[in-house]
Structure 1
Amino acid sequence: MKIALTSAGTTLGTPRTRAVHRAIAEARRGVPVVLAARRPLIIAPAETVGAEGLRLIDVLSSGQAVLLLAPSRAAAVLRHEVEANAPAIALKLARPLIDAETLKRAADPTMEQILPEFEMVDAPAAAEAALALGKLARLLPAMVAAPVRHGWASLPAGHDLLSVPAEDLLAYPAELAASLTKVAEVAVPLDDAKDARLIAFRALDQGIEHMAILVGDPAAQTAPLVRVHSECFTGDLLGSLRCDCGPQLRGAIARMAAEGAGAVLYLAQEGRGIGLINKLRAYTMQDRGLDTLDANRALGWQADERNFSIAAAMLRALGMTRIRLLTNNPEKVASLEACGIEVVERVPHEFAPNGVNDAYLATKAARFGHYLG
């Protein structure tokens, strides 16, 4: 499980942060961007790139085009083991570039897998940053990449393309936490907590909001009860039985009301940070026999991609740096402590299986190390 980055302070600044946001938007549209590095690359997500994007890469590249995949996904495509700790695995692409639909099938294990034979080649030095852009865009971490021609920006095909430094993409998660600010606060009485308030937080130059649900006055307590809860559309809103998220959210609010105070940090990090669409894809892989952890890895993600430095920044802004954490997850405790939050007690937060999520909860205990049962 990923341990959160610390957020010592803003390092990118507004113009560079804005460039990352533009790169994310371009990635979601399937438009190539140039990754500025010692050996620059032109890159585009395999999931969204179309014929025009592939044509631009073909025209502007100066060498071998590759498909960059996370090792867990590349092993499935190649049908043999690869270096599991490598930042990325590169698969050679034929020129002119392979068609967009084949690239999508190679990236997405939920699609019908009729694929050509791929040859593994050395990954470019900036491969990790290329995959980071796909993840920041909440797309499958699979990128088409090629060395970009010298003087690309002066060519007609490259005139409108964006360039973004590789190191800025890698630094961006910590930047989000460092730039977090309060943007709204209002009383919202809840069924289980009539005195609840919502405080919305937003990071610099981007529109994703994280919420704090405050019950009573938790900041007045020496070590208030805190729940760090990642949003779950299917569980929190629809009442899905596949997980225990809905009962955990409502149970946390009810417990805090019973104690008189507490705070739920509601983070916009669906599916352990992989996003809603990718979570639904992971569900498809689970329906084919994989557990929660292996389903995420089959898509090319880590078991847990959440950025808990966001939660730490919210707690500091709320004046809560010494807390009792309502969780069954020891890594969540370690992540917050790594960000400077003192967790004086881990408070268990367990709910019984419902007949549908039994295997899910068993995986949490056996493979994620959660204290359950």
Structure 2
Amino acid sequence: MTQSTAVTAQKDKNLIPATDLITVSRAVADLRRGEIVLVMGQENGKSHGVAVIAAEPLPQQGLERLRGIASSTASPAIIIPRVRAKSLGEVRTDDAFVGFVAKNPAEIDADRLGQIANPLLELDGLPDGDWRAINMAESAAIRLSKLARLLPAVVSVPVDADQIDALAAAQNLLILPSEHINGYENASAASLRQVSQARVPLEDAENVTVIAFRPADGGQEHLAIVIDEPARDKPALIRLHSECFTGDLIGSLRCDCGPQLRGAISEIAKSGQGGIVLYLRQEGRGIGLVNKLRAYALQDRGFDTLDANEELGFDADERVYRPAAEMLRQLGFETVRLLTNNPEKMAGLENWGVTVSERVAHKFPSNGHNEFYLQTKKERAGHLF
């Protein structure tokens, strides 16, 4: 067993089985279309359950249905990021997410809850109510909303743990243990398999094969752009490139993604030794295209690229690097030379058993629109320009 395989096997021990990937994937789709999902958690040895619906999209009918299945007479709580809560008057919490419960739920309809969740919207104030800490199931529900590439905010009501199976059957709802949601990204990456490949001559590299990898739940494919024929007995020159619709496809000047992608392909081709560009479906540092556009709108109000993500309720960088490591392993590469300015990419590959023997600088001049963006990456994200 190689070092890479041993590291991966060790980290696979606690992953959820592939069959559960499909349930999480279905729950992601349910949230995106305004459906309710049931989530189970455990704290202090006791099980608890919640029914949640995403704050966007939130139809009034869905909110009323959520209220109808709450245990006892519990009122819905909207779970929002700390930064949003503080902008609305909550100053006591240091938790990443916090819940707000209106004293008179009739004062808040679906539209109002959607406005509370969205930091791009200004509110005159909240109705009378109380802030509270969230539980493990609600925290997992926030993770699920991130997987759905929605705003990380949900509306939650408690449900009796001993009645949740009957409720799911009666209402045709999915039940997910919190650990299945939290383990989804690693389990999905572990299930990646090659599903298609073809020769695709490119403008700057004519000898190219593109290989598609798909996870077991049928999720988004990642791509390996294999240039020439890199040898497997020495470190291959590679680039991890996160999908960027705006930069890669329509030539946005707000970032340096387009030049980095095309520059990597050109540099690998010119090396004469071949290499690989891994095109990872992690738009907007893992928050998705719609949320990236929201982050751009916040940047236009004065936030930098990292603070904009955090204002929306995301980490500064939500990307994971196991998919890249798994793709390289299947392609037969365990030691690489990495085209990057980002130390986290190096650490991410190393964490999953891929040895980075050398960092190869990969930077491009600013264009008049992205100076602040590049400066932020250098000064706050530690990029090595």
**Which bin holds the TM-score, normalised by the shorter protein?**
over 0.9
Do the aligned residues in 2 keep the contact of 1:42 with 1:146 (CA within 8 Å)?
A: yes
Say if 1:80 and 1:87 are closer, same or farther in 2 by CA, change over 3 A.
Answer: closer
Matched, 1:33 2:37: yes
How far apart are 1:79 and its partner, in Å? 5.5
How far apart are 1:234 and its partner, in Å? 0.2
How far apart are 1:219 and its partner, in Å? 4.0
Q: Which residue of structure 1 lines up, in the alignment, with residue 4 of structure 2? A: none
How far apart are 1:98 and its partner, in Å? 2.3
Q: Which residue of structure 2 lines up, in the alignment, with residue 132 of structure 1? A: 143
Q: Which residue of structure 1 lines up, in the alignment, with residue 188 of structure 2? A: 176
| Partner secondary structure for residue 151 of structure 1 | helix
Matched, 1:240 2:249: no
Say if 1:39 and 1:324 are closer, same or farther in 2 by CA, change over 3 A.
Answer: same
Kindly provide the amino acid, as one letter, of the partner of residue 51 in structure 1. Q
Q: Which residue of structure 1 lines up, in the alignment, with residue 59 of structure 2? A: 50
How far apart are 1:127 and its partner, in Å? 2.3
Do the aligned residues in 1 keep the contact of 2:240 with 2:279 (CA within 8 Å)?
A: yes
Say if 1:156 and 1:347 are closer, same or farther in 2 by CA, change over 3 A.
Answer: closer
Cα distance in 2 for residues equivalent to 1:156 and 1:291: 43
| Partner secondary structure for residue 290 of structure 1 | coil
| Partner secondary structure for residue 72 of structure 1 | helix
Say if 1:148 and 1:236 are closer, same or farther in 2 by CA, change over 3 A.
Answer: same
Segment of structure 1 superposing worse, 115-124 or 150-159: 150-159
* Aligned partner (choices 71, 74, 89) of residue 85 of structure 2: 74
Do the aligned residues in 2 keep the contact of 1:153 with 1:159 (CA within 8 Å)?
A: no
Do the aligned residues in 2 keep the contact of 1:87 with 1:128 (CA within 8 Å)?
A: no
Segment of structure 1 superposing worse, 279-288 or 32-41: 32-41
Say if 1:43 and 1:237 are closer, same or farther in 2 by CA, change over 3 A.
Answer: same
Q: Can you give the 5+ residue segments of structure 2 that lack an aligned partner in the other structure?
A: 1-6, 42-46
Segment of structure 1 superposing worse, 215-224 or 272-281: 215-224
Q: Residues 262-281 of structure 1 correspond to what in structure 2 (within 5 A)?
A: 262-281=275-294
Kindly provide the amino acid, as one letter, of the partner of residue 121 in structure 2. M
Q: Which residue of structure 1 lines up, in the alignment, with residue 240 of structure 2? A: 228
How far apart are 1:157 and its partner, in Å? 9.5
Say if 1:230 and 1:65 are closer, same or farther in 2 by CA, change over 3 A.
Answer: same
Cα distance in 2 for residues equivalent to 1:113 and 1:184: 49
Kindly provide the amino acid, as one letter, of the partner of residue 268 in structure 2. M
Deviations 1:281-318 (A, max 9, x none): 00000000100000000100000000111111111111
Say if 1:72 and 1:24 are closer, same or farther in 2 by CA, change over 3 A.
Answer: same
* Aligned partner (choices 9, 19, 22) of residue 15 of structure 1: 19
Say if 1:219 and 1:210 are closer, same or farther in 2 by CA, change over 3 A.
Answer: farther
Taking structure 1 as the reference length, the TM-score comes to 0.93
Segment of structure 1 superposing worse, 66-75 or 18-27: 66-75
Do the aligned residues in 1 keep the contact of 2:67 with 2:75 (CA within 8 Å)?
A: no
Runs of 4+ in 1 over 6 A off after TM superposition: none
Cα distance in 2 for residues equivalent to 1:237 and 1:200: 19
Say if 1:199 and 1:29 are closer, same or farther in 2 by CA, change over 3 A.
Answer: same
Segment of structure 1 superposing worse, 204-213 or 111-120: 111-120
Percent identical pairs in the alignment equals 45
| Partner secondary structure for residue 228 of structure 1 | strand
Do the aligned residues in 1 keep the contact of 2:334 with 2:353 (CA within 8 Å)?
A: yes
Q: Which residue of structure 2 lines up, in the alignment, with residue 95 of structure 1? A: 105
How far apart are 1:251 and its partner, in Å? 0.2
Q: Which residue of structure 2 lines up, in the alignment, with residue 164 of structure 1? A: 176
Cα distance in 2 for residues equivalent to 1:354 and 1:87: 35
How far apart are 1:221 and its partner, in Å? 5.0
Q: Residues 207-226 of structure 1 correspond to what in structure 2 (within 5 A)?
A: 207-220=219-232, 222-226=234-238
* Alignment: residue pair count: 366
How far apart are 1:67 and its partner, in Å? 1.1
Q: Can you give the 5+ residue segments of structure 1 that lack an aligned partner in the other structure?
A: none
Do the aligned residues in 2 keep the contact of 1:270 with 1:276 (CA within 8 Å)?
A: yes
| Partner secondary structure for residue 135 of structure 1 | helix
Cα distance in 1 for residues equivalent to 2:136 and 2:336: 41
| Partner secondary structure for residue 210 of structure 2 | strand
* Aligned partner (choices 285, 291, 295) of residue 282 of structure 1: 295
Q: Which residue of structure 2 lines up, in the alignment, with residue 355 of structure 1? A: 368
Larger RCO, structures 1/2 (Cα 8 Å, 6+ apart): 1
Deviations 1:178-217 (A, max 9, x none): 1011111110000100001100000011230000101011
How far apart are 1:163 and its partner, in Å? 1.2
Q: Which residue of structure 1 lines up, in the alignment, with residue 270 of structure 2? A: 258
How far apart are 1:81 and its partner, in Å? 5.8
Taking structure 2 as the reference length, the TM-score comes to 0.90
Say if 1:49 and 1:97 are closer, same or farther in 2 by CA, change over 3 A.
Answer: farther
Cα distance in 1 for residues equivalent to 2:355 and 2:107: 52
| Partner secondary structure for residue 39 of structure 1 | strand
Q: Which residue of structure 1 lines up, in the alignment, with residue 338 of structure 2? A: 325
| Partner secondary structure for residue 34 of structure 1 | strand
